[in-house]
A and B are shown apart, each in its own frame.
Chain A
C-alpha cells in the first residue's frame, strides 16, 4: 500500500512538474536506507552527461534555456534520521543538490537539526546569467554574469518558549558585461563600454522569539552591507555613426574609464507582537530600516566630437543618499462565532529618501562648473482594510472587504551650480492619492470533491502616480475544481480591467483576461496523463506625447496612441507509462504561442505616415516557444536506474522587431545513472 502511494505520488509529481527532461523524476522504488548506529541513512546520486546542439541565435538560446554540455551530478539526496529522536549531535540531516558540476542552474539545500536544541537551514544557489541585451540597447547591454546566493539560518531552542535566531545571507554577481556611456555632450550617443560587474551584498541577522502570557513577541535586528565596485573601461574605438537627427555625426569614443564605487548599508529592526485567543487575535508589526549609500564617480573619456573635433570629458561626482524607512501594521481579528471572522488591518509606511550629489564636468577644456543637487522623495501611505469571512454552512461561505488608503508624495528638488550661480533653487511639490476598493467572494462546496470559488474587486483611485496605474478598475475571478485521488480537473477565469482617463488627451485602458483548464488522471501506477491549456489575453491602449519629425527639427506629437495586443495560448501535455515495472517512459510537450492580433506583417501595408508605421510595427510581438521531450528510465536493479532523455527547444519570432529574428532551435539530451540506497 505504502509503495503504491509512493509511486502514485511520484508519478503525480513527475507529471505536474514543469517539463524539464533532467534530472530524472522517476524513483528507484521507496528507499528504506541503511542503519548506521541509531540512524537511518538514505542516499541517491544521479550522475550523467548532458549534450546540446544549437542552430540559429545561440545568444538567445543561452538567454532562454542555457543547457550546456558536460558531466554533471544532476541531482543527489541524503537523509539521516535518528530512530528514537535522541541523536547525540543531530536528529536529522536533509541534503539535496541540483545541477552540481557544470549546470547553469545549481542549488544545494541543507537542513540539520537536533530536536529541541537547534535547527540549521542552508541554501546555496548559482545562476549563470546570459542576456544579449538586444531589447534594451541593441546588444550594447550584453551580460554574461554569475549570481551566487546563499542563506544560512540557525534557530536555537526551536521548540521552546524562548527561541534565538542567527542568520547570514550573501548575494554576489560577477562577470563581464557591456554598458553604454553617453558622450560627449547632451545630444551625444550612447556608446558601448566594457563593464566588469562586481557586486556584493552581505546580511547578518540576530533575533529572538519570546512567548509569555499567551503573547508572542519577535524581535529581529539586521545589518546588510552592499558594494558595487564595477569599473567601466574602453571597449575599443567605437563610433556612433550617422543618424536621422544628425546625418553627419562623427562621434567616436577612443579612450574611456569610469570608476563608480557605491558602498552602502541598511541596518534595520523588526518587531512583531502576536496573540490568538478564543474570540480575538492581534498581530502587530513595526519595522525600521535606516539605509544609506556613499558613492563616488570618476570618469574620463577621449575621442571625437559629433562635429569631428577632438573631444575630452572629465566628470567627477560624489555624495551620499539616505533612506529611513518605517512600516507598521496593526491587525485585529475577531471571531464572534465559529462561522464568522472579522479582520481589521491598519498599515502605515513612510519612506524618506534624501541625498546630495556633487557633479563636476570639464568638457574639452571648458570647465562647466560644479552642480550640487539635493533631492528628497518622501512617500507616506496610511491604509485601513476590513475583511469579513462568513461560513453560512459547510457548503457555502462568503467573504467581503473594504480597503482605503491615502498616500502623500513629497518631492524637493534643489540645485546650485558653482561658480556661476550662488543662488539655490529649491522646488517643493506635494501629491496625494486616495484609493478605495471593495471585494466580494463566495465559496461553494456542493459535493466533497467539487469546489467553486468566485470573487470580484472594484477600486477607484483619485490621483495615481502614473498613467498606467490602477485608477478605475475591477477584477473578476472564478475557479471550479473537481478533485479526486486519481482524477483532478479544474477550470478558471480571471479578468482585470483598468481605465485611467483623467483627461481626454492622456488616457490609458487595459483589459486582461485569462482562461485556464487543467486535468490530471492517474488511474493506476503504470499510466498517468496531465494536460493544461491557458489563454492569456491582454490589450492596452495608451495615449502618447513625444517629439518626432522628418529631420533635425522635431514637433510635439499628441495625436498618436500606443496599442499593444497579446494573445498567448499555452498548453502542456505529459504522459507517463510504466512498462512491466521495469521501465518508465515519460513524454511531454509544451507550447507557448503569442498569436498577436493575427496580422501577417509587423507593419500593416498601406501605412504612409512614418510615425504610425513605427507605432503599428510594435503593437504586437507574435512568437512561438515550444519544447517536446521524452525520457526513458530503466530499472537495472532495485537500487540502480539508467536514464536517457531528449528535449527540443524551438524559439521563433514572427517579426524581427529588434532588428533581426533571434530564432533558434536546440536539441538537448542527457544520459545518466541514478543510484539510490
Chain B
C-alpha cells in the first residue's frame, strides 16, 4: 500500500518536475512564454487569438523561439526583469531598421512564392519594410494584417498614382472593384517578360509569364495569326495609361489618329527593320472618315482573319 502511495506521489510529481525543468530551460534561454506577456499587455492579448500569428501558440508544437510574442520579439526575460521598456525588448520593431524588420519577418515568411523577389524589389531598395504596410497588433484589415485599406496604403506614398485614379477614365480601384495587387506584387516581381528593361517594376505576371493586363482582358491575349507587335513587344502601355487617364479607354491621347500616327510614321525599327508602316495612301487624314482609325481597324489588338485588323 505504502509502495503504491509512493508510486502515486511520484507519478503526480513527474509532470511537475518536467514543467520545472522546462521552466528552468526557458529561463536559461531567456524565453518566458506569451502568458507572461499578456499580464502587462492585455490590449494586445485580448484579440490576439484573431491574429494569424496566434497559430504558433495554438499549435503547441513550436519551440519557444517560434511561439507567440517571443517568436517575433525575442526572449522576454530581460524585458520582464526591467519591468518594461522598449529598449529591453530584443526585437522592438519600432526601434529597428527596415532591413532588420525584413530579416525578422522573412525568418518565417520567406516560404511563399509571392515573396521570392523581395530582396531586389523597389520597396526594399527604398527602405519600405514590412511594418510600413502591415500592422501586426492593430490591423485595420484582418486579411494580411494590413494597417489600412490596401489602396490607402499605396496612395500614402504613391500620390501621383492616386491622382491618376482620380481621372475620369480609370481602373476601378476607388470603387472597390479592383485592388492594386491585382496587377502589382508589393513584395517584388520577376523581370517583366514583355519589355526589355526592368520597368514596369513590381508588376505581377498573368498566366505565369505575361503582362498583368491579360489577367482580366483575356480577349486581347491571343495568340493571333496577325499580332499587333507593339502589344507583344512593347506592352499595353504603348497606347494606354494603365492607372488612369483624362482620355477615354485609358488612352494616352484624346483622339485616336494621333496615337496611331505617332508610331506609324516609318520611325523605329518595326518588325522589318525599316520602320513602323505608315498609313495607306488611300487614307486622307483630312477626311473625318479616316480620323478614327479603329472604326475600320476594329481588331487592333490582334486578328485571325485580316493582317490590317479589319475583322
Task: Given A147-B216, A317-B304, verify A492-B255 contact (CB < 8 Å).
Answer: no
B residues in contact with A327, CB < 8 Å = 190, 193, 208-209
Instruction: Answer whether residue A385 sits at the interface, using C-beta atoms and an 8 A cutoff.
Output: yes
Task: Given A63-B248, A293-B223, A297-B304, verify A549-B284 contact (CB < 8 Å).
Answer: yes
Chain B 22-55 interface mask (CB, 8 Å, partner A; 1/0)? 0000000000000000000001001001100011
Find A243's partner among B111, B149, B271, B287 (CB 8 Å cutoff).
B287
CA of A130 to CA of B181, assembled, Å: 24
| Closest chain B CB from A101 CB (angstroms) | 14
Task: Given A63-B248, A226-B221, A283-B116, verify A182-B197 contact (CB < 8 Å).
Answer: no
B residues in contact with A86, CB < 8 Å = 58
CA of A437 to CA of B191, assembled, Å: 14
Instruction: Answer whether residue A556 sits at the interface, using C-beta atoms and an 8 A cutoff.
Output: yes
Chain A 162-195 interface mask (CB, 8 Å, partner B; 1/0)? 0000000001010000011110001101100000
Let me know if A564 and B258 touch, CB within 8 A.
Answer: yes
Find B160's partner among A9, A435, A516 (CB 8 Å cutoff).
A516
Instruction: Answer whether residue B20 sits at the interface, using C-beta atoms and an 8 A cutoff.
Output: no
A residues in contact with B17, CB < 8 Å = none
Let me know if B282 and A542 touch, CB within 8 A.
Answer: no
**Which residues B137-192 have CB closer than 8 A to chain A?**
138, 140, 142-143, 147-149, 151-152, 155-157, 159-160, 162-169, 172-178, 190-191
Let me know if A566 and B284 touch, CB within 8 A.
Answer: no
Let me know if B49 and A82 touch, CB within 8 A.
Answer: yes
CA of A666 to CA of B4, assembled, Å: 89
- Interface segment among B5-13, B70-78, B80-88, B227-235: the answer is B227-235
Let me know if A283 and B117 touch, CB within 8 A.
Answer: yes
Find A111's partner among B55, B143, B290, B307 (CB 8 Å cutoff).
B143
Let me know if B190 and A503 touch, CB within 8 A.
Answer: no
Among B124, B127, B262: residue with most chain A CB under 10 A: B262
| Closest chain A CB from B127 CB (angstroms) | 5
| Closest chain A CB from B35 CB (angstroms) | 14
Let me know if A503 and B248 touch, CB within 8 A.
Answer: no
Closest to B275 in A: A506
A residues in contact with B280, CB < 8 Å = 547
| Closest chain B CB from A174 CB (angstroms) | 12
Closest to A116 in B: B59
The A contact surface, by secondary structure, is: strand
B residues in contact with A564, CB < 8 Å = 253, 258
Find A357's partner among B164, B255, B288, B305 (CB 8 Å cutoff).
B305
**Which residues A551-603 have CB closer than 8 A to chain B?**
552, 554, 556-557, 562, 564, 566, 568, 570, 572, 590, 592, 594
CA of A285 to CA of B193, assembled, Å: 12
A residues in contact with B151, CB < 8 Å = 17-18
Instruction: Answer whether residue A420 sits at the interface, using C-beta atoms and an 8 A cutoff.
Output: no
Instruction: Answer whether residue A474 sits at the interface, using C-beta atoms and an 8 A cutoff.
Output: no
Let me know if B49 and A81 touch, CB within 8 A.
Answer: yes
B residues in contact with A431, CB < 8 Å = 269-273
Task: Given A272-B113, A453-B127, A467-B262, verify A568-B163 contact (CB < 8 Å).
Answer: yes
A residues in contact with B262, CB < 8 Å = 467-468, 508, 540, 542, 544, 562
Task: Given A409-B271, A468-B263, verify A536-B160 contact (CB < 8 Å).
Answer: yes
Let me know if A466 and B190 touch, CB within 8 A.
Answer: no
User: How many residues on B have C-beta within 8 angstroms of the other chain's C-beta atoms?
Assistant: 131
CA of A82 to CA of B206, assembled, Å: 35
Let me know if A85 and B54 touch, CB within 8 A.
Answer: yes
Instruction: Answer whether residue A196 sits at the interface, using C-beta atoms and an 8 A cutoff.
Output: no
| Closest chain A CB from B310 CB (angstroms) | 5
Find A468's partner among B119, B215, B238, B288 (CB 8 Å cutoff).
B238
In the complex, how many residue pairs between chain A and chain B have their CB atoms under 8 Å apart?
A: 497
CA of A188 to CA of B21, assembled, Å: 92
Instruction: Answer whether residue A476 sits at the interface, using C-beta atoms and an 8 A cutoff.
Output: no
| Closest chain B CB from A144 CB (angstroms) | 15
Task: Given A13-B140, A409-B233, verify A433-B269 contact (CB < 8 Å).
Answer: yes
Instruction: Answer whether residue A345 sits at the interface, using C-beta atoms and an 8 A cutoff.
Output: yes
Task: Given A182-B296, A209-B113, A611-B285, verify A437-B197 contact (CB < 8 Å).
Answer: yes
B residues in contact with A179, CB < 8 Å = 298
Let me know if A131 and B311 touch, CB within 8 A.
Answer: no
Let me know if A546 and B278 touch, CB within 8 A.
Answer: yes
Chain A 453-472 interface mask (CB, 8 Å, partner B; 1/0)? 10100010101111111100
The B contact surface, by secondary structure, is: loop
Let me know if A199 and B218 touch, CB within 8 A.
Answer: yes
A residues in contact with B273, CB < 8 Å = 429-431, 463
| Closest chain B CB from A154 CB (angstroms) | 15
Let me know if B304 and A492 touch, CB within 8 A.
Answer: no
Let me know if A295 and B117 touch, CB within 8 A.
Answer: no
Instruction: Answer whether residue B16 sits at the interface, using C-beta atoms and an 8 A cutoff.
Output: no
User: How many residues on A have C-beta within 8 angstroms of the other chain's C-beta atoms?
Assistant: 213
Find B254's partner among A141, A224, A228, A621 (CB 8 Å cutoff).
A621
Let me know if A266 and B207 touch, CB within 8 A.
Answer: yes
Instruction: Answer whether residue A487 sits at the interface, using C-beta atoms and an 8 A cutoff.
Output: no
CA of A545 to CA of B276, assembled, Å: 11
| Closest chain B CB from A414 CB (angstroms) | 11
Let me know if A329 and B190 touch, CB within 8 A.
Answer: yes
Find B311's partner among A226, A260, A437 (CB 8 Å cutoff).
A260
Task: Given A274-B116, A435-B196, verify A614-B285 contact (CB < 8 Å).
Answer: yes
| Closest chain A CB from B228 CB (angstroms) | 10
Instruction: Answer whether residue A349 sits at the interface, using C-beta atoms and an 8 A cutoff.
Output: yes
Instruction: Answer whether residue B125 sits at the interface, using C-beta atoms and an 8 A cutoff.
Output: yes
Instruction: Answer whether residue B212 sits at the interface, using C-beta atoms and an 8 A cutoff.
Output: no
Let me know if A333 and B218 touch, CB within 8 A.
Answer: no
A residues in contact with B296, CB < 8 Å = 180, 182, 189-190
CA of A554 to CA of B165, assembled, Å: 42
Closest to A202 in B: B218
A residues in contact with B251, CB < 8 Å = 135
Instruction: Answer whether residue B249 sits at the interface, using C-beta atoms and an 8 A cutoff.
Output: yes
Instruction: Answer whether residue B18 sits at the interface, using C-beta atoms and an 8 A cutoff.
Output: no
Let me know if B209 and A377 touch, CB within 8 A.
Answer: no
Instruction: Answer whether residue B1 sits at the interface, using C-beta atoms and an 8 A cutoff.
Output: no
Find B292's partner among A137, A322, A492 (CB 8 Å cutoff).
A137
Let me know if A355 and B268 touch, CB within 8 A.
Answer: no
B residues in contact with A507, CB < 8 Å = 267
B residues in contact with A180, CB < 8 Å = 295-296, 298
Task: Given A135-B256, A548-B285, verify A356-B57 contact (CB < 8 Å).
Answer: no
CA of A274 to CA of B307, assembled, Å: 43
Instruction: Answer whether residue B93 sits at the interface, using C-beta atoms and an 8 A cutoff.
Output: no
Let me know if A379 and B254 touch, CB within 8 A.
Answer: no
| Closest chain A CB from B256 CB (angstroms) | 6
Let me know if B207 and A224 touch, CB within 8 A.
Answer: yes
Let me know if B253 and A594 touch, CB within 8 A.
Answer: no
Closest to B252 in A: A564
Let me know if A9 and B148 touch, CB within 8 A.
Answer: yes
| Closest chain B CB from A571 CB (angstroms) | 9
CA of A373 to CA of B275, assembled, Å: 22
Let me know if B196 and A407 touch, CB within 8 A.
Answer: yes
Closest to A103 in B: B175
Let me know if B289 and A245 touch, CB within 8 A.
Answer: yes
CA of A240 to CA of B219, assembled, Å: 29
B residues in contact with A276, CB < 8 Å = 106, 110
Task: Given A173-B219, A508-B262, verify A10-B99 contact (CB < 8 Å).
Answer: no
Let me know if B265 and A542 touch, CB within 8 A.
Answer: yes
Task: Given A180-B295, A570-B163, verify A385-B198 contact (CB < 8 Å).
Answer: yes
Instruction: Answer whether residue A140 sits at the interface, using C-beta atoms and an 8 A cutoff.
Output: yes
Extra 10 A-B pairs, beta carbons < 8 Å, given A63-B169, A244-B288, A325-B193: A9-B138, A40-B50, A109-B143, A127-B177, A133-B248, A141-B298, A245-B287, A391-B99, A453-B126, A614-B285
In the A-B complex, the 4 residue pairs with the closest CB atoms? A85-B58, A467-B267, A506-B267, A323-B223
List 22 A-B pairs, Cβ < 8 Å.
Answer: A12-B148, A16-B149, A115-B59, A135-B255, A173-B219, A245-B284, A291-B222, A321-B223, A325-B210, A331-B116, A345-B191, A375-B226, A381-B196, A383-B191, A397-B127, A409-B271, A467-B262, A467-B265, A490-B159, A534-B163, A547-B281, A572-B162
